[in-house]
Structure 1
Amino acid sequence: MFRSAHRHRRFALIAQLVAVVLAIGAAVTVVAEERAEPSDRLTAEEAAAQPLPAGPQPASSSPSPSATVAASPSAPPVLRMPGAVPSAGSGRFDHDDRSGPVLGRAGELRRYRVAVESGSDEDVAAFAQAVQVALTGPGSWVDSGRLRLQQVPGDAPRDFTVYLATARTAGRMCAAGGVDIRIDGRPYTSCRAPGQVIVNLDRWRLSVPHYVSARVPLSVYRTYVVNHEVGHQLGHHHERCPGSGRPAPVMMQQTLFLNGCRANPWPYVDGRRYTGPAL
Structure 2
Amino acid sequence: MGRHSRKGPATTGGDTEALADADAGAGREGVRPGPGSGRRRKSADAPTGTDGHAPFQHTGHVRGGHPEQREPGGGWGTGPQQTVPRRAQQTGARPLVPGPRREFVEAFDAPPAPPAPRGPSAPPAPPADPDGSVGERDEQPSSGDTGAPASAKSARGRTITGIAAAAVTTVLAVVVAGQVAHDDGGADTARSAGVDRDGTDGASRSDDRSTPKPAQVKPLSYAEKMAKAYPLAPKLHGSGKFETVPGSAKAPGRGHRYRYRIDVEKGLGLDAGLFARAVQETLNDDRSWAHDGAMTFERISSGDPDFVITLASPGTTGDWCRKSGLDTTVDNVSCDSAATERVMINAYRWAQGSSTFGPDKLFAYRRMLINHEVGHRLGHNHVSCGTQGALAPVMQQQTKSLDIDGIKCRPNPWVYPVS
After TM superposition, is the score higher than 0.5? Answer: yes
C-alpha distance after superposition, 1:243-265 (max 9, x if no partner): 11111110001011111111110
- Deviation of the 1:178 alpha carbon: 1.8
Given that residues 95 and 124 in structure 1 are in contact (C-alpha distance below 8 angstroms), is that contact kept between their aligned partners in structure 2? Answer: no
In 2: Cα distance, 1:111 partner to 1:83 partner:
29
SS state at 2:321 partner: helix
In 2: Cα distance, 1:165 partner to 1:188 partner:
12
Aligned match for 1:225, one of 358, 369, 376 = 369
In 2: Cα distance, 1:189 partner to 1:85 partner:
10
Matched, 1:197 2:346: no
- Deviation of the 1:171 alpha carbon: 0.2
Task: Normalising by structure 2, report the TM-score.
Answer: 0.43
Counterpart for residue 157 of structure 1: 304
Counterpart for residue 314 of structure 2: 167
Percent identity over the alignment is 37
Matched, 1:139 2:293: no
Counterpart for residue 91 of structure 1: 240
Given that residues 250 and 267 in structure 1 are in contact (C-alpha distance below 8 angstroms), is that contact kept between their aligned partners in structure 2? Answer: yes
Counterpart for residue 357 of structure 2: 211
In 2: Cα distance, 1:86 partner to 1:117 partner:
15
| Corresponding letter in the other structure for 1:261 | C
Cα distance change of structure 1 residues 243 and 206 upon mapping to structure 2, 3 Å threshold = same
Given that residues 284 and 296 in structure 2 are in contact (C-alpha distance below 8 angstroms), is that contact kept between their aligned partners in structure 1? Answer: no
SS state at 2:290 partner: helix
Aligned match for 2:385, one of 219, 241, 244 = 241
- For structure 2, the 5+ residue unaligned runs are 1-223
Given that residues 232 and 351 in structure 2 are in contact (C-alpha distance below 8 angstroms), is that contact kept between their aligned partners in structure 1? Answer: no
In 1: Cα distance, 2:312 partner to 2:274 partner:
14
Counterpart for residue 117 of structure 1: 265
Query: Runs of at least 4 residues of structure 1 off by over 2 A?
Result: 77-86
In 2: Cα distance, 1:216 partner to 1:137 partner:
22
Matches within 5 A, 1:56-135: 78=227, 80-82=229-231, 84=233, 87-104=236-253, 106-135=254-283
In 2: Cα distance, 1:83 partner to 1:167 partner:
10
Counterpart for residue 255 of structure 1: 399
More strand by share: 1
Given that residues 207 and 221 in structure 1 are in contact (C-alpha distance below 8 angstroms), is that contact kept between their aligned partners in structure 2? Answer: yes
In 1: Cα distance, 2:356 partner to 2:294 partner:
34
Name which structure has the greater RCO, CA cutoff 8 Å, separation 6+: 1
Given that residues 309 and 344 in structure 2 are in contact (C-alpha distance below 8 angstroms), is that contact kept between their aligned partners in structure 1? Answer: yes
- For structure 1, the 5+ residue unaligned runs are 1-74, 272-279
SS state at 1:111 partner: strand
- Deviation of the 1:78 alpha carbon: 4.2
C-alpha distance after superposition, 1:17-69 (max 9, x if no partner): xxxxxxxxxxxxxxxxxxxxxxxxxxxxxxxxxxxxxxxxxxxxxxxxxxxxx
Counterpart for residue 41 of structure 1: none
Given that residues 94 and 124 in structure 1 are in contact (C-alpha distance below 8 angstroms), is that contact kept between their aligned partners in structure 2? Answer: no
In 2: Cα distance, 1:176 partner to 1:82 partner:
28
Cα distance change of structure 1 residues 245 and 257 upon mapping to structure 2, 3 Å threshold = same
- Deviation of the 1:142 alpha carbon: 0.6
- Deviation of the 1:79 alpha carbon: 6.5
Cα distance change of structure 1 residues 269 and 83 upon mapping to structure 2, 3 Å threshold = closer
Cα distance change of structure 1 residues 232 and 83 upon mapping to structure 2, 3 Å threshold = closer
| Corresponding letter in the other structure for 2:362 | L
- Deviation of the 1:82 alpha carbon: 4.4
More helix by share: 1
Aligned length: 189
What is the alpha-carbon root mean square deviation over aligned residues?
2.1
